[in-house]
Structures are given as C-alpha cells and as structure tokens.
Chain A
Amino acid sequence: MWFFDKYNDKKDGVIRGYDIRATKVKILALIIMLVCLLMVCVSLFPALWVFLASFKDIKEFTRNVTIFPEKYDWSRMLGTWNAFKFTKYYKNSLIAILGCSACAIIFNGLLAYGFAILKPKGHKIALGLVMWSLMIPGITSIVALFRNINLIGLNQSFIPIWFSFGANAFWVVLFKQYFEGIPKELLEAAKLDGCGVLQIFIKIMLPLSKPILVVVAIFSITAAWSDFLLPYLVLNGTDKTTVMVKLFSFKDTPTDAVSVLRAAFFAIIPPTVIFAIFQRQITDGAASGAVKG
C-alpha cells in the first residue's frame, strides 16, 4: 500500500523502514498520523474561527450558537478597517518592525561576535551579566525603564522601541552558539590577510551566518509585530500608534466585541502572510537555530 511504502525510506525517528512490515507498527503509524491531523486542527482552528466570526454582526455574534456566519459580507470588515484607520497602524507597525529587526541583528550580532570570537579580556563578566538577564523577565522593571526613556526625552518616539530589540539576551545566545560553530581557520586566514575586526564580521561572519540571520530576522519581525507593552506606554495617543497598541487599548475603551475580533483578525493577517511565504525557512530556522542550545 502506498501509504506504508514511503516508510521504507524513513531516515529518522524510532520507527525504522524495516519495522513497517509488522501490522502492529502499521496501526501505530496510522494512529500517529491521525493524532497529527488532530493537532493541525487544534493549531489552526482559532485563526480560522476569528476569520469566520469577523463576518458576523454584533447581534449575530452574541446570540447565535453557530461557528459559521450567516453571510460573508466584506463591507463589514472594510467598515471596521476604515473606522479604526488600520492603514495608518499598519504603516506605523511596519516602521517599528524594520527598525526593531535591524537593531536586533546588528546589536545582538555584534555582541555575540565579541563573546564568541573576539573574547577580549574581561568578556566573561559581560557574558555573565547578559546570561543573567535571560533569567529575569524585562517586565519586572518596565516602570523604571519607562522613567529612563522619559529622562532622556525619547518618549513618544520609535527610537526606544527600535533599540529595545538590540538588547535581547536570547538572540545573543543564538548568535553566539552559531558563531562558535564557524571554522576558526577561516577567521585566522582573514586575520592574516589583514582584515580588521569589523571587516571580519562583515566579510566573513555575516555571509557564513545566513541561516541564523534569517532566524533572528524572522523572530524579531514577529516579536516586533506582537510587542505591545513598551510601545503602548511610549506611543499610545500619538500618531505613531501601532496595530498592537490599538488592540491593547481596546481593554479600556467600550468597543463592541465584533470590532475587537475584526481588529484581532487584522492583527493576524501580516504574520500569517509572512509565514505562508517563508514557512520553510521559518520552521527550518526555528529548529536549526536553537538546535545546539
């Protein structure tokens, strides 16, 4: 049977190609398949549901015991989009994301380069501090952080949002582990050729680190899109409001449930599109990036 034939070429996992001849293993393989399909449903259903529910009007949503809407009226969606001026929030989110992602790659990358390759005297102390901040969630000191941002007059600006992504211990660790795997000979050779510290980073390290760059870029893009607490405190009420800031502010504004759901739906679209396009790179990257952790 074609279903089981393919198991003969199976390269990884507990069930080996030779196992599949046994009926018991065949049944097991089928059960696993079914369980996996169920997991897919569980994973995807909430997003699908918010899409369907967004078509309902408020009366239908609060009263009807249904999953599917009565009709698929795009003008309702468009109405909410325009009423809340989502075009503007999308633009602002884009500005935030680009800056955040650039900062995440540049600053965390450079620091990891220092920890993994340069290892100047005393770097262990700095590394220790960075590792400890991995353990202590930033949210505990958000009040004090906000006070600092005010102190240097950077409130209501994208700058603190961008730079906040340049100090992420987790990504430093990802970079560091990857950099440590780069063959030392290449770096030695570059050094003998007279390359400076920064030149080595740009000419040797970065081209060799494409997979991890993709991982951090994608991680930081989705994280920046989803980030809301600091942006909310810094940007709320300005013309720089991002999609997530708007979504978070609904908790205090009497807004009907369907509008909130539609806003949530709008907030899900961009990451879903990115994911649909780059799914291969994202899933491969997410696995390979942290594989040595």
Chain B
Amino acid sequence: MKAANKPKEKFRKRDLISWLVMLPSLILFAFFVWEPLLENIRLSFYSTKMYETVAFTGLKNYNLVLHDVDFMAAFKNTFSYTLWSLVIGFFVPMIIGVLITETVHLKGFFRMAVYFPNIMPSLATIWIWSYFFLPGATGVLNIIAGKMGMGPYEWLNDPRWTIPLIIITLTWKSAGSTALIYMANIASISPDLYEAATIDGAGIMQRIRHITIPSIFGIAKTMLILQIISVFQILYEPMIFKNGGPNNASISLMMLMYRYGYRDYNVGKAASLSVLVCIILVILSGIYMRATREKEN
C-alpha cells in the first residue's frame, strides 16, 4: 500500500539490489577481461624491462611490429587461415548436421561420435595430430595411405598444405558441436513445410535449398563470425606442429605475439601486436553487428 505511493523509490532500491547481485560477476569480468585489455593498451606505448614500464616511447613498439621481418608473413597467413576456415570450417559442420539428420539408424551414436573430439583436450589432440602428419613411413596417415598403396606424403611440410591441414584439425575438433546446433535447428523445422513443398513437387535437393538452408541461416551467421574470430586465436597448432614453418608458411599473429612476449621478453612489443589484433577484431565485430541489426530492422 505504501509501495504504491512511492514507486520510484522502490524501483531504485530494486535496481541497487540487482546491481549488487551482478557485482561479483562484473568484478570478475573487470579483473580477468577488461582491465588486462586496457593495461595492454598502456603497455603498448612503453618500453619495458620485465613487466615494468621503463619509458614512454609513443608508437615505437607499433613501428617495430610493423617492420618485424616475420610480421608480413603472419599477416598474410591470417587471410589464408580465414579463407580456408570459411571453406572447410564453415561448411563441414552444416553438411554433418544435414547428413546425420537424414539417418534413422544409430542416430544417437552418430551424434555422440561426431561430438566426441570436442571433449578431448586440445593439447592432447595437437600432440596426436603431430604424429598423424609425420612425413616418412612411420607417420600414422602415411601408414594408412601406404596400406592403400599411396604416399608417402609430406603433409604439413608442403607449404601449400600446411594451413589447410591445420584448419582440418581444428574443424575435426569443433565441427561436432556446431553440427549438433544445426541439427537442433533443422529438427525444429515444421514438417508442414516439407509436406507443402513435396506437394508442390520439390525434390530432395530443392527442399534442402529452399527449406533447410534458409532455416539455419540465422544461426549460421553467428557461427560464421565466431569462426572468423577463432581464426585470430590460432596459436598452439602452428606452434607445436611446425613452429610456424616451413619458412613461416603457418606462422600466425598470435604466435608472433607469444614469441615477443615469452621468448624475447618484450612485453611492450607483444602488447602492441595484440592491440593491433584487437583493433581488427573490433572492426570485424562492428561490421557484423551492424549487418545483423540492419537485417532485424
């Protein structure tokens, strides 16, 4: 009864409590995500000794990064990584999702099996794949190829194939979970749509094109941007496989950052490279968000 008299005050109190509920989580975000990002920007303008800033050097670190002998290679590779991850990483989960949907036997088993690589620790899978791609007779893939009378192949040592093969291992790892999401979306399509299409004389391929694909288009856009962002995080695969080689054929921007920071102990240079990567990501994300918003309107 009193509450009705001063709704505004009550409202404020509830706001306060709400913020208090969210506060611990926001502190964690601030500590683990936001503050380090800002700190990174600050560090990128300083010369450093260990983690301590020594002197403000303006854009010197950025200049060093841009003129680094390996930077252009890493930058170019990023485009190659992105391209291949669009070709392989984006479509494979969709295809898996569609195919498994069309089975009736062992469906649960298929879902489980394709998801399985996803729960394997990435570090363990990188070690395993490095033995799969070993050139020479004892590499696992060459053993298999040999049984079929082919090979031996050079795999990652052929610079034309290094990046596509890395993307394949990444896709192997993550495709299952994305495929499950697509499957759930496909399952929620109303059967009436298919039946209506059938009555209109649409064949199976046409039904896929006009019903299945459009219905997963929305989720696919989200997956696409997540895919591109994940490309900028590629670090351990090229590092453990070939240390960025052969001759820089697979070096990634993040790997270069890791080298500056942890091999050369040059924190300022590492920070400025990661700021550059962040800028690229912010631009990409901005484009994406704008695009989706326009679509919604």
Partners in one complex: yes
Interface range on chain B: under 10, 10 to 19, 20 to 34, or 35 or more?
35 or more
- Asked if A288 and B184 sit within 8 Å, CB to CB, the answer is yes
Among candidates B51, B109, B129, residue contacting A40 with C-beta atoms closer than 8 Å = B109
Question: What is the distance, in angstroms, from A125's C-beta to the closest C-beta of chain B?
Answer: 11
How far is it, in angstroms, between the C-alpha of A156 and the C-alpha of B14 when the chains are bound?
A: 39
- Asked if A264 and B124 sit within 8 Å, CB to CB, the answer is yes
Chain A residues, CB < 8 A from B186:
12-13
How far is it, in angstroms, between the C-alpha of A247 and the C-alpha of B130 when the chains are bound?
A: 14
Majority SS at the chain A contact face? helix
- Asked if B28 and A65 sit within 8 Å, CB to CB, the answer is no
Task: Tell me if B163 is interfacial: C-beta within 8 Å of chain A.
Answer: no
- Asked if A247 and B124 sit within 8 Å, CB to CB, the answer is yes
Task: Tell me if B153 is interfacial: C-beta within 8 Å of chain A.
Answer: no
Task: Tell me if B72 is interfacial: C-beta within 8 Å of chain A.
Answer: no
Binary interface encoding of chain B residues 208-237 relative to chain A, with 1 for a CB under 8 A from any of its CBs, else 0: 100110000001001000000100110100
- Asked if B33 and A110 sit within 8 Å, CB to CB, the answer is no
Instruction: Of the listed stretches A72-80, A134-142, A182-190, name the one at the interface; the rest are far from the partner chain.
Output: A134-142
Among candidates B104, B123, B176, B285, residue contacting A6 with C-beta atoms closer than 8 Å = B104
Among candidates B106, B125, B146, B198, residue contacting A46 with C-beta atoms closer than 8 Å = B125
Among candidates B17, B99, B128, residue contacting A36 with C-beta atoms closer than 8 Å = B99
- Asked if B21 and A113 sit within 8 Å, CB to CB, the answer is yes
Query: Known contacts A65-B137, A261-B127: does B22 contact A126 (CB below 8 Å)?
Result: yes
> Which residue of A is nearest B185, CB measured?
A291
Interface range on chain A: under 10, 10 to 19, 20 to 34, or 35 or more?
35 or more
How far is it, in angstroms, between the C-alpha of A198 and the C-alpha of B21 when the chains are bound?
A: 8
Task: Tell me if A178 is interfacial: C-beta within 8 Å of chain B.
Answer: no
Binary interface encoding of chain B residues 109-130 relative to chain A, with 1 for a CB under 8 A from any of its CBs, else 0: 1111111111111111101110
Among candidates B14, B117, B191, B285, residue contacting A120 with C-beta atoms closer than 8 Å = B14
> Which residue of A is nearest B181, CB measured?
A290
Task: Tell me if B25 is interfacial: C-beta within 8 Å of chain A.
Answer: yes
> Which residue of B is nearest A275, CB measured?
B119
Task: Tell me if B250 is interfacial: C-beta within 8 Å of chain A.
Answer: no
Instruction: Of the listed stretches B63-71, B75-83, B154-162, B267-275, name the one at the interface; the rest are far from the partner chain.
Output: B267-275
